Amino acid sequence: MAELIESASDARRLDDGEERALVERWASGQADARDELVLASLRVAVDEAIRNRGRGARQDRLARVGAQALIEAAQDYEPGVHGSFSAWSRRIVRDAIRSALVS
């Protein structure tokens, strides 16, 4: 987990154009683009875990929950329906972490 947090911390945020390009590649059948999009978005899971630390669960557990939610968000993502991937995934990750804190 420490590796996940470290790699996410080092990751550069995608700008809107880069995100759109990855989504278009993914939509055209290039499955590796989805993986790139998820890896580039791991910072979302780590940020949400940090934001919620000290609320009853360990930060590394929250980061794992967030990373899993990010993967699931990528599987369910529909560009024409959900808007930008970053906004969609942030909401999914935030909801998953909040749910983990309640249970």
Residues 29-42 pLDDT 10s: 898 988 888 888 88
pTM for this entry: 0.80
Give the structural domain span for 81: 2-9+17-102
Give the single-character DSSP code of 52: T
CATH number at residue 89: 1.20.120.1810
**pLDDT tens, residue by residue, 56-100:** 778 888 989 999 999 999 888 888 788 889 898 999 999 999 999
Reported confidence tier of residue 2, pLDDT bands at 50, 70, 90: low
The total number of structural domains in the chain stands at 1
What is the rounded (10 degree) CA torsion for 39, 45, 46, 48?
Answer: 160
d(CA 51, CA 47): 6
